[in-house]
Amino acid sequence: MKKIQFCIALSGALLVAGVAHAEEKLDCASLKQTIEGKMNAHGVKKFKLDIVDKDQAGAGKVVGSCDGGAHKIVYSKEGAADVAQK
């Protein structure tokens, strides 16, 4: 019986924590800066990160979401078109 009560309490706590985290709005500028820092730390060079509206189609890979899902951060490799043409 105590195990069931413990499981229910734990589930409730995790649910509350998850909802609180989901409601948190990440600032786009600070998230972009964090992503840039991680990419630089891994030795990635010549890249571009753009903040675009969530509905905007972009050429690149979505690497983050911010402002409560209103915007996304898109990664693209700078100079990729130049390399492809050579």
Under the banding of pLDDT at 50, 70 and 90, the label for residue 86 is very low
Indicate whether 67 belongs to any domain: yes
Q: What is the pLDDT of residue 25?
A: 78
As a whole number of angstroms, the distance between CA 56 and CA 62 comes to: 11
Is the pTM here over 0.75, yes or no?
Answer: no
pLDDT tens digits, residue range 11-37?
Answer: 444 444 343 344 467 899 999 999 999
Indicate whether 10 belongs to any domain: no
Give me the number of domains the chain comprises. 1
With b for 16 or more beta-carbon neighbours within 10 A and e for fewer, the 22-61 pattern comes to eeeebebeebbeebbeeeeeeeeeebebebeeeeeeeebe
Domain that holds residue 72: 26-85
Indicate whether 61 belongs to any domain: yes
